[in-house]
């Protein structure tokens, strides 16, 4: 998809006229460098091969608005009320983001009234009776030590009109939404309804996806922690496989549509012999099919480890029934069970011994606290989100692009999904690291 | 079962006439305290309530032979060849035990010829073609960093006559068997056949069971590491359960006949609300049944965590088919799946929301390296095993009893199985820690 | 020291007449096995070699009172107020003990009024102005995830009369003291002053010492976590030593008077070549002195790792000045710096290359949360302490002896200090594991 | 410094005429996307604000050569011999890089003759007598589990002429140097001497610096692991500081000239109140000096945590003696001890209680194995380095720039040092996260 400058423009509630409290505090000492200049941009693409017209002037190229503090802000910190909500499945770092937002609002801007809505978008809807939570620096001080989210979460959307009713009723000026692409679509609706009603409510998102499948950001928060956890299972599979004659370790990891966790966990431990991801279809049968390759590997090396993204090989499950969860995600048919059975059958048919161990770490991966890197990353995303909201940005998410923290329109990141490029360098590294064939066919 | 003095006697190949190399090396410096005296005993029972006749003289009570170095030994270290084999499922610490035996034999006694048999008892049988492995201090130097066993392992026994043939053919004088109760029965047969054939082969066992179900030892090696790992899943279940409305975390952990891992993991994190173990039957239905208690807990607290030993509640699976694995263990029917389904049905029938997360960490628990405590414990068991073998003990295992390292006859530990006492202090602590009722009925 | 039956007797405030709430709740269902019988005893010694007169009848031998719930208790749970205080240096598990006491009191006995005194014995003294902390199940729910103590702590005693004044003023009936031997001497004074004033205050201790130097208990809480942490430094020293030519890793660990951490950490990783502890004096100079042995080891192996307890080799520091800390502990002169310098000088004098890396993990060891084993152990000690106090025991500590939880008189554990026995099996294992000579002389 | 296109050009030994073995193996199946096109470039700078002339055409901007496999290569894999050396201090990931190079050469290109030189540049010099090490896939299979480097390392350069003599004598065609900027200067000399002698030797570097102070790369390998470890000490300091009245935790971390570890560790745990780095000078005395600010913080909050880079505040040590280590690095005077003393004196002068705990984790940080992220990163750098060398690049290092793996001339990265920009967003995040003043003056 071609990105144009207009794709990268973010919406602002209005003109920023209020001096930033930091600017006030620093007074004469302030240096311009601590503020983002309104004309700064971070180029969207920096690989020459991807710039369509090589001769184009550099300031004509599409660029992101950089994140960071502004000298003038839109909201008066002493008057506003801020809400935070976490939506969808757990992901390492949720509490770090909540903590970072609360501390930044409180310490840096002096905002005192911050509330958390409970259990995702349900928390705005009266009938569920979930009380809001006052969020203070003391309360959030150590929550980064815990996995999960202190606010609770739930899947699925709610009536956006009712959510805006609630925001009006509770005098919420700024809403931070931490959630996946479904939740960001919800957040867009909230922002747009608020706009229609002439409510000056800033809705700022921090995109969350354990699968790392959000486009136009370097990677999503919690992803490193997640694949680090997944790598533990890959290594356990390696230990099991090498401790038994003809041992095979089969590890199913997260990755509904994108194989980032599978690829990264496989590369992290260097223990994997095969990686199967949604982006690269594979044949099971035939001389060059997966089963024959696995059998040969085990015959040669005495053992093998297979890392499987949960969304891989859905084409082999075509006949099975499909259902949809509360968030509207299609429930995947279980490739893990299928593959396990097919491997068992295949070795049995060949009259070969097999010691197959199946690993499904699943929730163990997503409920851990953020590792130090993700903890830092979450803090910095939270800082960026607060600066964006205080400067009146709305329908905007914060992210990192080529190492810089930037603003992105919500519209942009809900358009598609990031996937492992079968012709790109990550997948090439996997092929190199595992030695598996270019394709199973 | 009443234990008598004769139950605790271990068999010796013959009179110890050779000076220990340590004794030679130390010469005049040696102190008698560094050697075990042949008349020492460690009392079998030290709780007064359990001594049947209170007036009996203390030296009449049954006692274990203490482990440790003897001043005189049976084998000439410079001449013998030693074999090591690991059998059955993985358990943290296997490599530590192997390492400890090799280093102790080599450094302390000067034994140079040490071999490892591959893949359990298969390694003695020619048709499998598994070559033996020379074991040197260099080779085993860092293996304690890895989970699993460098020797490989397999389930199931082999023809004991053929194993003794192999030992004779390869001139093995001492065999160390690291394995479970099935493997210890195999080791007894090996020792007895060797005796019949007048082979002076010492067979010494280091009992292994991740379930901690071996009687007459304080606890089995690897058990602390295992329940520590299991506790991570219990905590993950707690995080998931508390992050969703009406969240229930259901964790299935190891424990075929004994609930030690379930109890310890539950106590270790203090996050569990219910613990179900094989030793304590439970009703599912009824006002005081498990399902109703769970429903009430969730209604009151908003969430609950259930820790389930894999061998619990087998009475509810009576109708299902049974099979037997290669070691002759009855394959358990899956209580985890049953309970999961019953909970889902029960909440659905009551028209209650439920966010159930199921955890089955299984192999993740047993493939990790030993934690520092178990690593130390394995080293010391290995030291004790080497001293026992050098002093000519056979059909003997080493263990720890009330903090002392002791010798036990193999016969004794294969007689029964250690279980959680429903009237004992461990289960009481679980009841206190979880607040669950005395029974579900 | 000979222990007699009277040494093991614990003091009780009076007759237990009140039905335990558990007994009431269970009613007809209760089984006698869940209660401790008043005549039960756990034998003090179970090694035959240590029983002076072998022919003595077993019920004449000294024994401990077992810990656990009694059917009748002394205090009325609905009426009492309970205080908790933590004293002295940090130790892994402090928060687990606090949590265990609060939950057990609240859930099991229904005690509602529980307060924490801040910053050790200071918290009772008005002039410091430290407010007490209400302790509720909610507040303590997750504190086991954190190292340190939520109550704060401080070194040093305070006027015991004033402490009892405070207890009277605040209507405290039961005081739990978690601290070292100095704190236990303070607790004894408090209990004795209360007795003189006819205050029926139960003072129950949970002994804390990261050095594991308390006698008559299997080991102290937090010790396994501590030596596990120390083992990380030993392993880091091994990595450094083996990565550089003539690398020497020197690790100073805790252990003022007892080398348990040094011995256990050395055995846990099996990476140590030399272990120096306070219990075993050593010569530095001479052909068989430590420096020459180290030089030879490095010449042969290319590297070496030395584990040093902070209290070792104090004889070599005799000339240096001595001071005393706030708890009255003699400040040790720094053997680490001395040894470092002497090794550098020795290699320089021999004109040998040396890459010496010095490790002093110190506070990193004691500030971590308890590992799963210690977490469980702390919970169970806390349960035992609560049962003891509710049954009116005072001047009593809880501990574990040969695997059983028991009551011990405070008097007993403050009498001396547990040390590594240079003729015992732990030190022998260290000699075997490291290969170091019996003595440096 | 302005970067021009010529600064980014890397040197190649000659024309690539040999088909890549991968290309041969894949045959008709190969897709062009798996190879890097020679005209591809990764833009040096993508922040518009930093492009001097905004109107310049995009293909006129300086760009890096992308890393990755080429269809045609320079060396014949079946004929070459490859050497690897690790230099300077330890850093997490060294073994991962070695492993990645060996596996990639062997599995992907079919190179069989790979040797490791021992103990840094010493390994090339005959007089040290360090034998080379054959490196095979089996040998390196699990070395990523260990910290340190299996090759050993040492500080300091050696005579480059002699090193080239050694390379000639041993028929080494490709040399991989893993080391810091000093080592890269050595590698440049080696490459240039080889060029003068018409030896076609490719010298490719993988830059190593635990301080993350190499310019023109996203970050150095091992850095995330390192600051993650440092964050453990920061957290321990927080636990200690909050557990004692007026507790101050002072943590000295690595960072000779650059405060990246200090900043990242502080942000990772969110526990720090003050961060002191070499890039931002500070006053100790005066009303707005550091000591007064610390005193006020402790007075208000009861505790504080200070993170100190070892190279910070050198201006306060001006009077002290200076020495130089074997690598020619100036030995820093110890700011940790100075600050510790000044804080103690300052509180004493103000007659305030102080519980100061000092942490110096040092070697504990650098000797751990790489975390999963760094392990993956090291593998991918190793892959890139092998592709570069096989394509005949020399005097070249591999790195990552804005997420893409690229080639950089050695010249470029040895020119200067990356530092924390006091006006940049990382330092701003630290100011926001800690709440410390813009400067202490």
> Would an 8 Å CB–CB cutoff place A141 in contact with chain C?
no
Give every residue of chain A whose pLDDT is below 70, as ranges.
Answer: 1, 23-35, 38, 46-54, 319-332
Q: What is the ipTM of this complex?
A: 0.91
CB contact under 8 A, A367 and B148: no
- Segment C327-330 long-range contacts (CB within 8 Å, at least 24 positions apart): C327/C88, C327/C155, C327/C156, C327/C157, C327/C180, C327/C182, C328/C156, C328/C157, C328/C182, C329/C182, C329/C256
Cβ <8 Å between D47 and A49 = no
C349 vs A302: CA distance, rounded Å = 54
- Contact assignment for C367 to D130 by CB distance below 8 Å: no
User: What is the least distance, in Å, from the CA of A224 to any CA of chain B?
Assistant: 18
A–C: how many Cβ contacts below 8 A? 5
Under 8 Å between Cβ of A68 and D425: yes
What average pLDDT does the segment D381-403 reach? 95
> Is D138 considered catalytic here?
no
Which pLDDT band, with edges at 50, 70 and 90, does C47 fall under?
A: low
Interface test with B, best of A94, A229, A236, A337 (most B CBs within 10 A): A236
| pLDDT of residue C61 exceeding 50 | yes
Sheet holding A303-309, edge to edge: A274-276, A303-309, A247-253, A355-359
Length of chain B in terms of residues written? 441
Nearest by Cα to C220 from C97, C45, C77: C97
Tens of pLDDT, residue by residue over C80-93, are: 999 999 999 999 99
Q: With an 8 Å Cβ cutoff, is A232 touching chain B?
A: yes
- D touches which chains (3+ CB pairs under 8 A)? A, B, C
pLDDT at A28: 47
- Give the CB-side neighbour count of residue B165, counting CA atoms within 13 A: 9
Instruction: Check residue A21 and give its pLDDT.
Output: 82
pLDDT number for residue C32: 47
Asked if B37 has any chain C CB less than 8 Å from its own CB, the reply is: yes
Q: Can you say whether the dihedral through the CA atoms of B368, B373, B378, B379 is positive or negative?
A: positive
Tell me what pLDDT residue B23 has: 65
- DSSP 8-state assignment for residue B417: -
Task: Report yes or no: A89 at the B interface, CB cutoff 8 Å.
Answer: no
Instruction: Decide if C159 touches A, using CB distance below 8 A.
Output: no
The tokens describing B207, both together, are 């009992």
What percent of the residues of chain D are helix, what percent strand, and what percent coil, each to the nearest 5?
40, 20, 40
CB D147 to CB C236 under 8 A?
yes
Least CB-CB distance to A147: which of B119, B239, B360? B239
Q: Both tokens of residue B318? A: 């009576």
Residue A159 to chain D, least CA–CA distance (Å): 36
CB C382 within 8 A of CB C104: yes
The confidence score (pLDDT) of residue C326 equals 59
At D317 the pLDDT is 87
Do the Cβ atoms of D364 and C359 come within 8 Å?
Answer: yes
Question: Are residues C364 and D361, on separate chains, in Cβ contact within 8 Å?
Answer: yes
Report yes or no: D378 and D369 within 8 Å, Cβ to Cβ: no
Instruction: Quote the tokens at residue C141.
Output: 């729910």
Beta strands in D31-141 (DSSP E): 42-43, 63-66, 72-73, 81-86, 113-116, 133-134
Which pLDDT score, from 0 to 100, does residue C23 have? 64
**Which of A147, A236, A360 is facing B367, going by the closest CB pair?**
A236
Chain D within 8 Å of A89 (Cβ-Cβ)?
A: no
Catalytic entry in A211, A213, A273, A346 = A211
- The whole-number average pLDDT for the span D96-115 is 95
Say how far apart CA A141 and CA A139 lie, in whole Å: 6
B299 shares contact with chain A (CB less than 8 Å)? no
Sort out which chain C residues have CB atoms less than 8 A from D242's CB and list them.
Answer: 148, 152
Confidence of residue B92 (pLDDT cuts 50, 70, 90): very high
Q: Does A242 touch chain C (CB under 8 A)?
A: no
List domains and CATH numbers for chain C: 5-220+370-401 (3.40.50.450), 223-316+324-366+422-434 (3.40.50.460)
Q: Where are the beta strands (DSSP E) in C107-231?
A: 113-116, 133-134, 174-179, 202-207
Residue C74: its pLDDT value, please?
A: 96
Looking at chain C, which residue has its C-alpha nearest residue A146? Answer: C145
CA distance B260 to B266: 10
Please tell me the least confidently modeled range out of B338-342, C408-412, D321-325, D403-407: D321-325
Strand pairing class (D81-86; D113-116)? parallel
Q: What is the model's pLDDT at position A110?
A: 94
The C-alpha angle D102, D106, D111, rounded to 5 degrees, equals 105
Helix ranges, B108-169 (H)? 137-140, 160-169
Chain A partners within 8 Å of D228 (Cβ): 371-373
Q: Check CB contact under 8 Å for D361 and C357.
A: no
In D15-34, the residues whose Cβ lies within 8 Å of chain A are 26, 29, 31, 33-34
Which of D211, D271, D346, D374 is the catalytic position?
Answer: D211
Q: How far apart are alpha carbons A410 and A72 in whole angstroms?
A: 23
Mean of the pLDDT values across residues D199-209? 97
Which whole number is the average pLDDT over D13-37?
A: 69
A221, A97 contact by CB (below 8 A): yes
Residue that wins the pLDDT comparison between D179 and D57: D179
Which among A26, A58, A231 has the least Cβ separation from residue D372? A231
Mean pLDDT score across all residues of chain D = 90
**CB-based contact D48:D54 (threshold 8 Å):** yes
Q: What is the spatial distance between Cα A360 and Cα A366, in angstroms, rounded to a whole number?
A: 13
Residue with tokens 């508390």: B242
pLDDT at D106 over 90: yes
Helix H or strand E segment including D263: helix D260-269
Spell out which residues of chain C touch residue A141, defining contact as CB-CB under 8 Å: none
Torsion of CA C133, C137, C139, C144, to 10 degrees: 110
With an 8 Å Cβ cutoff, is C146 touching chain A?
A: yes
Q: Closest Cα to residue D394, out of D131, D155, D114, D205? A: D205
Structure tokens at D298: 């402790």
User: Which of D146, D240, D368 is the closest to C367 by Cβ?
Assistant: D240
Contact call for residues B248 and B260 (beta carbons, < 8 A): no
Going by C-alpha positions, the residue among C199, C231, C226, C198 that lies closest to residue C211 is C226
What is the CB neighbour count within 10 angstroms for residue A252?
26
pLDDT above 90 coverage of chain B, percent: 74
Q: How far does the CA of residue D165 sit from the closest CA of chain A (Å)?
A: 34
pLDDT of B28 strictly over 50:
no
The CA angle D343-D347-D352, to the nearest 5 degrees, is: 150
Give the Cα separation of A384 and A205 in Å (integer).
11
Sign of CA dihedral D398, D399, D402, D405: positive
Set C211, C271, C273, C374: catalytic member: C211
D303 → chain C, closest CA residue: C152
Q: Encode pLDDT of A72-86 as tens digits.
A: 999 999 999 999 999
B 341-370 → C contacts, CB under 8 A: none
Q: What does the block give as tokens for A12? A: 């602002």
B145 to chain A, closest Cα gap in Å? 12
pLDDT-based confidence at residue D367 (cuts at 50, 70, 90): very high
Instruction: Assign 3-state DSSP to chain A and report helix, strand, coil percentages, each to 5.
Output: 40, 20, 40
pLDDT in tens, B296-345: 999 999 999 999 999 999 989 876 666 665 555 666 678 999 999 999 99
pLDDT band at D424 (very low <50, low <70, confident <90, very high): confident
CA–chain centroid gap for C192, Å, is: 23
pLDDT, residue D28, reads: 47
Q: Which residue has the higher pLDDT, C332 or D378?
A: D378
Q: At what angle do helices C260-269 and C223-242 cross, to 10 degrees?
A: 60
* CB proximity list for B215: less than 8 A, separation 6 or greater: B412, B413, B415, B416, B417, B418
Interface chains of chain A (3 or more CB pairs under 8 Å): B, C, D
> Which chains are within 8 Å of B by 3+ CB pairs?
A, C, D
* Interchain CB distance below 8 Å, A375 and D268: yes
């Amino acid at each position: 998809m071609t990105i144009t400058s207009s794709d990268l423009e973010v919406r602002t509630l209005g003109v920023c006229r209020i001096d930033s409290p930091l600017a006030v505090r620093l007074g004469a000492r302030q240096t311009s460098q601590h503020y983002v200049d309104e004309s700064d941009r971070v180029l969207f693409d920096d690989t020459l091969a991807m710039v369509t017209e090589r001769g184009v002037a550099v300031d004509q190229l599409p660029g992101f608005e950089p994140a960071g503090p502004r000298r003038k802000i839109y909201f008066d910190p002493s008057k506003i009320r801020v809400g935070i909500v976490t939506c969808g499945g757990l992901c390492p770092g949720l509490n770090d983001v909540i903590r970072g937002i609360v501390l930044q609002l409180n310490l840096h801007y002096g905002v005192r009234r911050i509330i958390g809505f409970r259990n995702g978008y349900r928390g705005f809807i009266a009938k569920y009776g979930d009380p809001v939570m006052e969020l203070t620096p003391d309360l959030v001080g150590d929550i980064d030590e815990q996995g999960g989210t202190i606010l609770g979460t739930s899947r699925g959307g709610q009536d956006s009109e009712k959510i805006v009713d609630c925001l009006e009723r509770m005098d919420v000026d700024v809403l931070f939404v931490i959630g996946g692409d479904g939740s960001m679509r919800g957040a867009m609706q909230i922002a747009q309804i608020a706009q229609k009603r002439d409510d000056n409510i800033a809705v700022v998102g921090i995109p969350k996806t354990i699968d790392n499948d959000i486009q136009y950001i370097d990677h999503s928060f919690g992803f490193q922690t997640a694949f680090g956890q997944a790598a533990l299972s890959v290594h356990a599979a390696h230990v099991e496989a090498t401790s038994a004659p003809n041992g095979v370790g089969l590890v199913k990891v997260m990755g509904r549509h994108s194989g980032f966790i599978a690829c990264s966990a496989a590369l992290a431990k260097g223990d994997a012999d095969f990686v199967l991801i949604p982006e690269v279809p594979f044949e099971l049968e035939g001389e060059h099919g997966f089963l024959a390759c696995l059998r040969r590997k085990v015959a040669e090396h005495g053992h093998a480890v297979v890392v499987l993204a949960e969304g891989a090989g859905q084409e082999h499950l075509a006949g099975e029934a499909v259902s949809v969860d509360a968030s509207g995600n299609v429930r995947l048919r279980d490739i893990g069970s299928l593959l396990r059975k097919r491997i068992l059958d295949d070795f049995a048919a060949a009259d070969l011994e097999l010691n197959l161990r199946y690993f499904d770490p699943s929730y163990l991966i997503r409920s851990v606290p953020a590792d130090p890197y993700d903890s830092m990353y979450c803090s910095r995303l939270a800082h960026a989100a607060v600066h964006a909201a205080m400067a009146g940005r709305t329908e905007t998410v914060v992210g990192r692009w080529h190492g810089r923290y930037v603003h992105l329109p919500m519209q942009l990141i809900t358009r598609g999904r990031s996937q492992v490029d079968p012709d790109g360098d990550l997948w090439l590294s996997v092929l190199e690291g595992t030695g598996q064939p270019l394709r199973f066919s």
